[in-house]
Amino acid sequence: MKFYNFLIRYRLWIGLFLMAGGVFVNMAAGFWPAFPLYFVGFILVLGHFFFGPLRLIQEYLENGDIEGAEKILNSIKYPNLLYKPIRSVYYTLKGNIAMTKQDFETAEKLMKKGLDLGMPMKEAEGASMLQMGMLAMQKNDMKQAENYIRAAIRKGLPDKENQAVAYLQMCNIMLNRREFRAGKEFFKKAKALKPTTPQIVEQIKQIEKYISRIPG
């Protein structure tokens, strides 16, 4: 794994070195002895621009190192050359980082770019739509928030924690619209998932304090 990560990190320079070596071998011994160097070097250079270093980001995100992940993303100088599904993930990750900085306007633009390109998995698309819905709620655009969150639920979400977040956000939207019965139904769905994330558990406790007293 370490070797693979090393190769991803430095494959552009390794590829260029191999191609330069191919030129030297070509001049000394002819094209065919140099062909393997040309071929492997070209594949590495192509992989750098076509696939990018996104594989390296996983380790940073697992360790909560947002700055490290951002450095990897910023090292991609030509995102339009990335393979389309990878480009979509690139913009989504950039949007997530912008959200952590509370730069909601930039986050929304980047997340929309990712969605417009099409996510590689339906669950990933659902998670992105959920985030777009939460961004809309930050701007107090409840109608747009509802559209995104309903779409996220339809597309599917990757785990019960995300599902619980979606149902709780819909619960809040319904309660704010005084559609109490619908709000209670969404709350029941969220609670039934038995999420374990502390923030979600606390939100359920807070809502539970007053939702039983609401009519409907």
- Is residue 85 in some structural domain? no
At 49-105, the pLDDT tens digits run 999 998 888 888 778 888 999 999 999 999 999 999 899 989 999 998 998 888 888
Centroid of chain to Cα 177: 31
Indicate the pLDDT class of residue 195, thresholds 50, 70 and 90: very high
- Is residue 211 in some structural domain? yes
- Is residue 206 in some structural domain? yes
Which of 171, 175, 127, 187 shows the shortest CA–CA distance to 151? 127
- Is residue 33 in some structural domain? no
Indicate the pLDDT class of residue 42, thresholds 50, 70 and 90: very high
- Is residue 61 in some structural domain? no
Sequence length of the chain is 216
| Residue 176 CB neighbours (<10 A) | 12
Give the pLDDT of residue 200: 92
- Is residue 37 in some structural domain? no
Give the pLDDT of residue 101: 87
pLDDT greater than 80 at residue 123: no
Give the span between the Cα atoms of 132 and 6, in whole angstroms.
34
pLDDT greater than 90 at residue 121: no
At 164-185, the pLDDT tens digits run 999 999 999 999 999 999 999 9
Give the pLDDT of residue 129: 92
Domain with 209 in it = 139-216
- Is residue 22 in some structural domain? no
Report the share of the chain in percent with pLDDT over 90. 65
Q: Find the mean pLDDT for residues 29-44.
A: 94
Using alpha carbons, list the distances in angstroms from residue 123 to 63, 103, 120, 129, 153.
Answer: 23, 24, 9, 10, 9
Indicate the pLDDT class of residue 119, thresholds 50, 70 and 90: confident
Q: Find the mean pLDDT for residues 92-119.
A: 88
Give the domain CATH number at 171.
Answer: 1.25.40
Give the pLDDT of residue 190: 95
Please give the structure tokens belonging to residue 138: 């930050």
Domains in the chain, number: 1
Give the pLDDT of residue 216: 61
- Is residue 177 in some structural domain? yes
Indicate the pLDDT class of residue 1, thresholds 50, 70 and 90: low
